Amino acid sequence: MLRFLIARLASAMVVVFGVVTIVFLLVHLVPGDPVEVMLGEAAQPADRESLRHTLGLDQPLWVQWGRYIQGLLHADLGVSLHSKRPIVEILRERVSATVVLAVAGLVVAVLIALPLGILAAVRKDTLWDQASMVFAMIGVSIPNFWMGPLLILVFSYWLGWFPVSGMGGVGSLVLPALTLGTALAAILSRMTRAALLEVLGEDYIRAARAKGLQEGTVILHHGLRNAALPVITVLGLQLGALLAGAVITETIFAWPGIGRLTVESIQSRDYPVVQACVLLISLGYVLVNTLTDVVYAALDPRVQLHT
C-alpha cells in the first residue's frame, strides 16, 4: 500500500508541475498588458516602463517563471497587481465559498442519483427505468451556462422562491447547487444503474434471496455495497470536475468564490491571482483524484497489483 501511495503522490506532483508551467505560459502569452489596464491608455510611456520594471514584467519570460516557481517552493504566491494585497489572503477569503458550493452540489447529486439509479436497476426495462435514463441524458446534455439562467428565470423571476445571485443564506445556495449537481447526478445515476445491474446477477445475491431476506436488504446491503467501487470512482473524479465547473456557475450567480475570482482576474490581467486560482483548482482536482485512487485501492487490493 505504501508503494502504491508513493507512486500516486509522485504522479500527482508531476501533473501539478506541468499545470503550473502551462498556466504560467498561457497567461503571459494572452494578448493584453496589465500595465495598460492599471494606468490607462493615457499614461506616459515612461510611467508604463517604470511600473513594468517595478512589477518585474520587463524581464525575460524564463526569469519570471523561475521566480514564480521559487516563490511557490516557499509557499509565496505573490501580491495582487491591482489590490496590492497578498494573494494568500485573497484566496483565504474566497475558498470557503467554493468549498460550500462544491459540497452542496455533491449532496444534491447524490440525493438525486442514488434513488434514480437504484430504481432504474430494480425496475429494469420499465417506465421508471426509461424515465431515469431520459433524465440522465438531459442532465448530461445541458451545460451549466444554460441551466443556471434557466433556473434563475423559473425560480427567481417567475416564482420568486430564491435570490437571483449572491451569497446571503441557505436560499441563495439552492440554485447554484442544483446547477452544479444536476450534471453530476445524471452521470452518477447511470453508473449506479450499470454497477447494480451487474451485481444483482451474481450468485450471492440469489443466495441471499433464497435465505428469505427482504428485497430491500438484498439490494441495499448486499447489492449496492458491492457495486460501490465504480460509483466511488466516478464520484471522486466528478468532485474534482465540480471545482472546475464552479467557475461558470459562480460567474452566473455572482457567487464570491475562487471561480468568480478567476474570471475577474483574467479580465483585469492580474497574472499572479490568475495563476494562484488555477493552481488551487488544479491542486484540488489532483488531490481528489489521488484520494479516490487510494480509497479504491483500500477497498479492492487487486488495484495495487497493477502499479
The per-type count for the chain, helices as H runs and strands as E runs, is 14, 0
Distance from C-alpha of 101 to C-alpha of 131, rounded to nearest angstrom: 28
| Residue 97 pLDDT | 86
Query: What does the pLDDT look like over 161-212, one tens digit per residue?
Result: 888 877 777 888 888 888 888 878 888 888 888 888 777 777 777 777 777 7
Place of cell 487490493: 301
| Residue 96 pLDDT | 86
Query: What does the pLDDT look like over 230-268, one tens digit per residue?
Result: 777 777 777 766 766 677 888 888 888 888 888 888 877
Residue 307, pLDDT above cutoff 60 = no
85-105 b/e with 16+ CB inside 10 Å = b? Answer: eebeebbeebbebbebbbebb
Distance from C-alpha of 88 to C-alpha of 160, rounded to nearest angstrom: 37
Cell (9 digits) for 196: 447494480
- Per-domain boundaries in the chain: 2-73, 96-256
Express as a percent the part of the chain with pLDDT over 70: 84
Residue 303, pLDDT above cutoff 60 = no
Question: Region 147-172: what's the mean pLDDT?
Answer: 83
As a whole number of Å, the CA-based R_g of the chain is: 24
More confident residue, 289 or 90: 90
| Residue 51 pLDDT | 64
Distance from C-alpha of 90 to C-alpha of 68, rounded to nearest angstrom: 18
Query: What does the pLDDT look like over 89-130, one tens digit per residue?
Result: 888 888 888 888 888 888 888 888 888 888 888 788 788 778
Q: Whole-number mean pLDDT of the chain?
A: 77
96-256 maps to CATH 1.10.3720.10? yes
Dihedral in degrees, nearest 10, Cα atoms 153, 156, 160, 161: 130
pTM equals: 0.76
More confident residue, 102 or 4: 102
Say how many CA atoms lie within 13 Å of 1 toward its Cβ: 8
User: Do 188 and 117 form a contact (C-beta atoms < 8 A)?
Assistant: yes
Residue 305, pLDDT above cutoff 60 = no
